[in-house]
Amino acid sequence: MGVEDTSIRRGGYPMNTIPIRALVVEEKDGTFQEQELRLEEPARGEALVRVVATGVCHTDQITRHGDMPMPFPAVLGHEGAGIVERVGEGVTEVTAGDKVIIGWPWCGECRNCLDGQPRYCLRTGDALVSGRRFKGERAGTTAYSRDGKPINGHFFGQSSFATYCQHAREGASGDADRAPGPARLRPGNGCRRGAQ
């Protein structure tokens, strides 16, 4: 054996990850099972949020039943709110300690995003239900793992059925305490649905 590669593992776990509790749906029609997973520290452009509350919505239910193209096993939950723990490089929109309502991510580059209509982002499918990061230097990877194997997360950019989540800064709303009235409700599922 040569020098141990601590860049990959330490104490049996991937480096730069934290333990989280999450509700995992193992397969189509599976139940929500509480398990311990590992979550990567925030990458560039991401914020690690301690989830304080989350809505439960029929979208989680129909996804569990396979009506959305989300791959399994997966962590669902898409109406979360919480407190920013840490942010990755390049994140200035939120900082540690901010109370946030977690919105959806968007690409920021397509016709609709550039037109100021991120809710109609042309990459919405990838952004919400690919189970992976959909852009940035780690696009195609997941921040979630179980026993060293990848688990699908990033559901609606958050997978809020967990003690912590990792999401792209575009989904981070401002400080929920300071923001005035309606602005605190960064477009979440209900708002968007109502607008459609």
Stretch that binds Zn ion, among 63-71, 95-103, 113-121, 175-183 (CB under 5 A): 113-121
Q: Give the shortest CB-32-to-Zn ion separation in angstroms.
A: 15
In the chain, the amino acid numbered 182 is P
Measured CA to CA in angstroms, residue 165 lies from 31, 56, 67, 168, 193 at distances of: 20, 16, 23, 10, 23
Measured CA to CA in angstroms, residue 94 lies from 20, 153, 157, 170, 184 at distances of: 22, 21, 16, 10, 14
The interface with Zn ion within residues 30-89 (CB under 5 A) comprises 57, 59
Q: Give the shortest CB-133-to-Zn ion separation in angstroms.
A: 15
The interface with Zn ion within residues 156-185 (CB under 5 A) comprises none
Tell me if residue 51 falls in helix, strand or coil: strand
User: Which residues contact residue 78 at a Cβ distance below 8 angstroms, ignoring those fewer than 6 apart?
Assistant: 55, 57, 59, 60, 104, 128, 155, 156, 158, 159, 160, 189
Decide: is 107 part of the binding site for Zn ion (CB under 5 A).
yes
Decide: is 110 part of the binding site for Zn ion (CB under 5 A).
yes
Contact present, 59 and 138 (Cβ < 8 Å): no
Decide: is 101 part of the binding site for Zn ion (CB under 5 A).
no
Nearest-CA neighbor of 20 among 136, 169, 143, 103?
A: 143
Q: How many residues bind Zn ion (CB under 5 A)?
A: 8
Residue closer to Zn ion, measured from CB, 38 or 123: 123
Residue closer to Zn ion, measured from CB, 19 or 108: 108
Stretch that binds Zn ion, among 9-17, 92-100, 105-113, 129-137 (CB under 5 A): 105-113
Decide: is 121 part of the binding site for Zn ion (CB under 5 A).
yes
| Residue selected from 76, 94, 101, 113 as contacting Zn ion according to rule CB under 5 A | 113
Tell me if residue 20 falls in helix, strand or coil: strand
Q: Give the shortest CB-106-to-Zn ion separation in angstroms.
A: 5
Q: Give the shortest CB-193-to-Zn ion separation in angstroms.
A: 7
- Contact positions toward Zn ion, by CB under 5 A? 57, 59, 106-107, 110, 113, 121, 189
